[in-house]
A = this chain, B = another copy of it.
Amino acid sequence: MGSAADDFDETERRRRREADRPSSLVARFGDDQPLRLDGGALLSPWQIAYTTVGKLNADRSNAVLVCHALTGDQYVASPNPVTGKPGWWGLMVGPGRPVDTDRFFVICANVLGGCMGTTGPASTDPATGRPYGVDLPLITIPDMVRAQAALVESLGIDTLFAVVGGSMGGMQVLEWAAAYPERVFAAVPIATGARHSSQNIAFHEVGRQAVMADPDWCRGAYLEAGRSPRKGLAVARMAAHITYMSGQSLHAKFGRNLQDRERVTFGFEADFQIESYLRHQGMSFVDRFDANSYLYVTRAMDYFDLAAPHGGVLAHAFAGTRTRFCVASFTTDWLFPTTESKAVVHALNAAGANVSFVEIASDRGHDAFLLDEPELFATVRGFLTGAARARGIEGPAAPRIAGDAPPTQPAVKAVVQRGGGR
């Protein structure tokens, strides 16, 4: 399985095409506009794939950058061309949604190192005509943000009204606020932290070792070899997936329920629903994601430590900031527990920043940030509405009825798919 090119799933074939020629918008930067990477290399040419929703207003003050998580992409509120699934944050972003595209101009870009059209290991290296593979220089969270900043600048936007994101997206939000304080009016980091913890690095390392142990990884050159480390990447995703859910939600959703059988089989089949579910998550992931991208993007998270370049003092990263912050965490998120958000809040307090913080009660673990969590929506909506007023951004022409799911869009809740966003 997965050892010959003709085994590839049609989904995977579509995804491979997206790496160089994305279905979305794309900004290309030539040899005269190299991207400086933290590792020291200059990347050129390079490109960044993105989508936009809503309209940029006359004074270009209403742009909201949404940053995606580990395995997300630019299709925040529009169908993914590979999977055909709806946008990964349709509950949060859209007309009448908390990030209201009747009011804001939303930009969402695939991260550097990703596989959906922004330069990453699956992209063709113009110097060789072959995929970069692991010859692409390593990418960091600041690198991702630097690429986004170039995109935003190319769109003629000086200051973003807001930068919003969860998990790895939240890391980018924090990096944006620290690196470009004058270009971020408001920042909404959700379910995230200012550094990756030892336990989180450990889980990522397990995933990478699973990928690299797969002989079909071919030391990173599987695209040229016409192979795909599907089994290794599926194991990596399975392990990661456990960390996205809480023990409570696993217990509530699956417990010890058996899958399509009355009793255990006394064997190694997926007797339990949780096993069947995890196997499905692993197998469907490999179609839509590039294994080398998985290595790069997990590594970027591992390396992230916002305090490090500031002598280990996180508050210094935000010194003098005038950005207003809204920090949110979830009670059962053990990947980015509330303590990590509180560390950010304490640093912002120490820097004298304008910050509001909410810990939201949810039994859904880290995944909560992608799901239907009314308190999250109310928090983001309220914060952005207040900030928009302060920034002088006009509301939508016809104000909608209050509430998170406007009556014109009742179906969105039902069709939003889990898991595509991180």
In the assembled complex, A310 has its CB within 8 A of some CB on chain B: no
| A242:B302 contact, CB within 8 angstroms | no
Name the B residues within 8 Å of A208 (CB-CB).
Answer: 268
Nearest chain B residue, comparing its CB with the CB of A229: B213
| A39:B203 contact, CB within 8 angstroms | no
| A212:B268 contact, CB within 8 angstroms | yes
Q: Chain A: interface secondary structure?
A: helix
Name the B residues within 8 Å of A295 (CB-CB).
Answer: 268
| CB contact list, A23-71 vs B, under 8 A | 38-40
A254, A266, A271, A303 interface centre (most CB from chain B within 10 Å):
A266
Nearest chain B residue, comparing its CB with the CB of A273: B198
In the assembled complex, A205 has its CB within 8 A of some CB on chain B: yes
In the assembled complex, A138 has its CB within 8 A of some CB on chain B: yes
| A278:B202 contact, CB within 8 angstroms | yes
In the assembled complex, A215 has its CB within 8 A of some CB on chain B: yes
Q: Contacts A212-B268, A247-B197; is A275 near B231 (CB within 8 Å)?
A: no
Question: At the interface with chain B, which of A123-131, A233-241, A395-403, A406-414?
Answer: A233-241
* Residues of A within 8 A of B (CB-CB), count: 57
Name the B residues within 8 Å of A266 (CB-CB).
Answer: 38-40, 137-138
**Interface mask (A273-298 → B, CB under 8 Å = 1, otherwise 0):** 01100110010000000000001000
| A279:B202 contact, CB within 8 angstroms | no
Name the B residues within 8 Å of A40 (CB-CB).
Answer: 266
| CB contact list, A185-201 vs B, under 8 A | 195-199, 201
Name the B residues within 8 Å of A279 (CB-CB).
Answer: 205, 209
Instruction: Looking at the assembled complex, report how far the CB atom of A290 sits from the nearest CB atom of chain B, in whole angstroms.
Output: 15
| A251:B212 contact, CB within 8 angstroms | no
| A278:B206 contact, CB within 8 angstroms | yes
Instruction: Looking at the assembled complex, report how far the CB atom of A268 sits from the nearest CB atom of chain B, in whole angstroms.
Output: 6
| CB contact list, A118-165 vs B, under 8 A | 134, 137-138
Name the B residues within 8 Å of A254 (CB-CB).
Answer: 198
Report the separation of the CA atoms of residues A57 and B38 in the bound assembly, to the nearest whole angstrom: 70
| B198:A282 contact, CB within 8 angstroms | no
Report the separation of the CA atoms of residues A279 and B268 in the bound assembly, to the nearest whole angstrom: 26
| CB contact list, A226-265 vs B, under 8 A | 231-232, 234-235, 238-239, 242, 245, 247, 250-251, 253-256, 264
The one of B138, B199, B213, B272 in contact with A201, judged by C-beta atoms closer than 8 angstroms, is B272
| A210:B197 contact, CB within 8 angstroms | no
Nearest chain B residue, comparing its CB with the CB of A212: B268
Q: Contacts A206-B239, A251-B198; is A305 near B213 (CB within 8 Å)?
A: no
| B256:A198 contact, CB within 8 angstroms | yes
Name the B residues within 8 Å of A270 (CB-CB).
Answer: 205
Name the B residues within 8 Å of A38 (CB-CB).
Answer: 266
| B197:A242 contact, CB within 8 angstroms | no
In the assembled complex, A214 has its CB within 8 A of some CB on chain B: yes
| B264:A201 contact, CB within 8 angstroms | no
A38, A195, A206 interface centre (most CB from chain B within 10 Å):
A206
Report the separation of the CA atoms of residues A167 and B306 in the bound assembly, to the nearest whole angstrom: 38
In the assembled complex, A334 has its CB within 8 A of some CB on chain B: yes
Name the B residues within 8 Å of A337 (CB-CB).
Answer: 247
| A274:B205 contact, CB within 8 angstroms | yes
Q: Which 9 A-B pairs have the closest CB atoms?
A: A39-B266, A213-B231, A138-B266, A198-B250, A199-B247, A205-B275, A198-B254, A206-B239, A206-B238
With A199-B245, A206-B238, A206-B239 already in contact, 10 other A-B pairs whose C-beta atoms are closer than 8 Å: A138-B266, A138-B267, A202-B274, A205-B270, A205-B272, A205-B274, A205-B275, A206-B278, A213-B213, A213-B235
